[in-house]
Chain A
């Protein structure tokens, strides 16, 4: 009783002092809302990224995107080569005051890998885990696997006691129609605590004074507001209604940069934008599919004026790419990045040689809510292909409408952006996109190609624990992808954030994820 009084009193004092002093409130206008407060309920990188402010993993990415210890202090691979032992950090508490122990790790891994978890694919090699002592855990995998740490950066740790108390040990199951307690409530170990949430309107986070790590930020509060319309986001930033956005429209950057109180942060995203081809026997029109011929794919590649797209559509902010992964991604080598050169005459010759009929109709599937300026570059490319005598039918629609068509092979040519998240390794696109469709592999192999040699290289890389050897295998595989022109890489898309003058420091990350525990606001704000 006494304790509660005391807590109330401190809370009141905190509230009073909070209003008396100028608080550092970061008003974040995102282009969309998070799907839930439960990082395991929605397989979506933005939701997981935002909730990373509240929940943490055993390991995390540092300011220069290197993997570093977080809730685990160290780890080793045991002699059987498939069991990893993690030594956990001591003295860490959850937001509700519970101590962090090995039980929590086991409960979290069990929850995320459960049959009904939408995130179980993010931990593909996981078999089981067990408590060794209060601060050690063993994780067993289904084979030798080099990328467990990369996977774990994205697996957030829950409090076992809290999950049990609130009957939330199971992931939210949409099929059973049950709501999860964790959908509305959060209890992590991270630098921020969820204060309140109204879906699609506002989510408020306050700084966690008891965070185990030395905070580099000086924020008191983050208010996350989804502002879907790009124009409104710009207006809100100019009028100071928001102080930060992680999606400033490329076309408005000059205007934002010219505004006295706004600073634009620009970089190139790791996300590589590509165009994929169908490898089925027939096109959606029923006509025979010419794209199975490498010469035809090459013709379409050479017909695209990459430089024009870079300058006009992407406003000089993108990085024209020859490789299917960005330079910072392990496995990339410069030789992968050379360009074929724009040559529409050669394209026409190639098409004629391959016997492609004049005015060939095919679908070109793009998203209206996908990549940066996707609608525009798709229109531009369709126009370029029209000029070499083809008749692409542009099909632009929201992701919700397009995804089924893409995954079920109900379209022809399509766009795809791949950032290699959460692995930050070229193994990710090789396994997910370029591998034949088998089991967990080739989920994004929408065109339906199959190169046994390529599969063998990828499989070998997936079991190679030696980094150098593994990257060599992956580079070889990427070269094969490039030579065969399975997909056409266009560019790494631009990334633009903007902050108002109140914000003193906002580090920009190549994986396009805001990490506000590194952000600082100006003193006088």
Chain B
């Protein structure tokens, strides 16, 4: 087990180093940060000097080594645009994205699990068919279209919910939360729904598939034969059995949701990490872009490694790497 643990961790570290290299290479060839920082009136001489001071003239290896060493220490430098410590900027934005992703995840479970069970248990019923159709529609609607439609309906036409921003936030230590104020909660509704559409259908489909499989398993048939009420069998025994894959999926999807939040955040002007990233792209704010890519990848890799290790812990057979084919 310890060998496996070490191996997985080493693997994760290797992956992160590779991501860092990729991030670094990519960002070196992007637009020109100097042009974004200098004043309209700056002369050619000023530009050359700034380039020198930023270390943009150093060799490739020197710049990469500096980049990784600093990144490991959580130092991503100073934002070219805001001139603030990038880590501080991301720390300020992280709660907004996290709360959005959290609420979207909760919605996806609260809606997706029952919908999945219903479509599996009452196969071919009218409700199940409707839900199935809904899930296909949900997976086919681009999230930006969903966002635009929600704004049109609930903000512009009905005026029920805010169209942008986070509302009032309350600071708890460095964490700013919008969950404690009415306006904060209202502002969260539309973005969270828009972000969760895709996730809801994922959960629902997974639960349905797992339920269909479980319901065919022998112990369920036994339970039924023993006279345990059908509903009880379905909702307690069968459902419990497919919760593990659902939790796994949810865990592994968090990284994706964080990344995908950048589309939602753009539509709703949600002040999270994704919007920071998109703005950084427009301004060629290299430190912010590098930090965002690395942090999101880190969350991604960490969650995946954790899931792998947990699985191996639960089921020793999986410690053999060769069985791990189907990621």
Direct contact of A and B (CB under 8 A): yes
Chain A residues with a Cβ under 8 A of chain B: 35-36, 38, 41-43, 116, 118-122, 124, 172-180, 183-184, 198-201, 225-229, 232, 235-236, 238-239, 241, 369, 398-401, 403-404, 407, 432, 439-440, 443-444
Q: Is the CB of B41 within 8 A of A432?
A: yes
Q: Would you call A198 and B162 a contact (CB within 8 A)?
A: no
Cβ–Cβ < 8 Å partners of B140 in chain A: none
- A440, closest chain B residue (CB): B43
Whether A235 contacts B163 in the complex (CB less than 8 A), given A200-B271, A398-B282, comes out as yes
In Å, the complex CA distance between A507 and B81 comes to 30
Q: Which of B35, B41, B50, B275 contacts A404 (CB 8 A)?
A: B35
B166 x A201 contact (CB < 8 A): yes
Across-interface contacts of B156 in A (CB, < 8 A): 235, 238-239
> Which B residues are in CB contact (< 8 Å) with A432?
40-41
> Inside 8 A of B306's CB, which chain A residues have their CB?
none
Considering only CB atoms, which chain B residue lies closest to A432 in the complex? B41
List 12 other contacts, CB 8 Å, given A179-B78, A200-B93, A200-B276.
A43-B38, A118-B38, A118-B39, A174-B80, A175-B50, A183-B82, A201-B166, A236-B162, A239-B156, A239-B162, A401-B284, A432-B41
User: Does B134 make an interface contact (CB < 8 A)?
Assistant: no
Per-residue CB proximity of B29-55 to A under 8 Å, as 1/0?
Answer: 001100111111111001000100111
User: Please, which residues of chain B bring their CB within 8 A of the CB of A178?
Assistant: 78
- Given A38-B83, A235-B163, also A440-B32 (CB < 8 A): no
Among B39, B53, B77, B85, which residue has the most Cβ atoms of chain A within 10 A? B39
Q: How far is the CB of B138 from chain A (nearest CB, A)?
A: 24
Residues on A with C-beta less than 8 A from B93 are 200
User: Is the CB–CB distance between B43 and A236 below 8 Å?
Assistant: no
Does B282 contact A440, Cβ atoms closer than 8 Å? Answer: no
Q: B92 contacts the other chain (Cβ, under 8 Å)? A: yes
Chain B residues whose CB sits within 8 angstroms of the CB of A199 once the complex forms: 82, 84, 89, 92
Residue in A172, A174, A179, A444 with the greatest tally of chain B CB atoms within 10 Å: A174
- B269 within 8 Å of A (CB atoms): yes
Q: Per a CB cutoff under 8 Å, which of B83, B155, B266, B281 touches A35?
A: B83
Interface 1/0s, chain B 11-42, versus A by CB < 8 A?
00000000000000000000110011111111
B159 touches A239 (CB 8 A): yes
Quote the shortest CB–CB distance from B79 to chain A (angstroms).
9
The reply to whether the CB of B283 lies closer than 8 angstroms to some CB of chain A is yes
Interface contact B37-A118, CB-CB below 8 Å: yes
Q: How far is the CA of A124 from the CA of B266 in the complex (A)?
A: 40
Docked pose: A183 CA to B50 CA in angstroms: 19
B253 at the interface (CB under 8 A from A): no
How far apart are A417's CB and chain B's nearest CB, in angstroms?
11
CB-CB nearest in chain A for B40:
A43
Contacts of B9 in A (CB 8 A): none
Asked if B203 is at the interface (CB within 8 A of a chain A CB), the reply is: no
| Cβ contact within 8 Å between B78 and A121 | no
User: In whole angstroms, what is the CA distance A238 to B85 when docked?
Assistant: 36
Across-interface contacts of A235 in B (CB, < 8 A): 151, 155-156, 163-164
- B42 to chain A: which residues have CB within 8 Å? 43, 118, 121, 443
**Which chain B residues lie closer than 8 Å to A121 at the CB level?**
39-43, 46
CA distance A247 to B256 in the complex (A): 34
Q: How far is the CA of A228 from the CA of B54 in the complex (A)?
A: 29
- Let me know if B304 is at the binding interface, CB within 8 A: no
- Contact of A174 with B31 at beta-carbon distance under 8 Å, contacts A118-B39, A200-B279, A398-B282 already known: no
B51 to chain A, nearest CB (A): 9
Please state if A174 and B37 are interface contacts (CB–CB under 8 Å). yes
**With A400-B31, A401-B31 as contacts: A443 and B84 at CB distance below 8 Å:** no
CB <8 Å contact, A239 and B155: yes
* Smallest Cβ-Cβ distance to B167: which chain A residue: A241
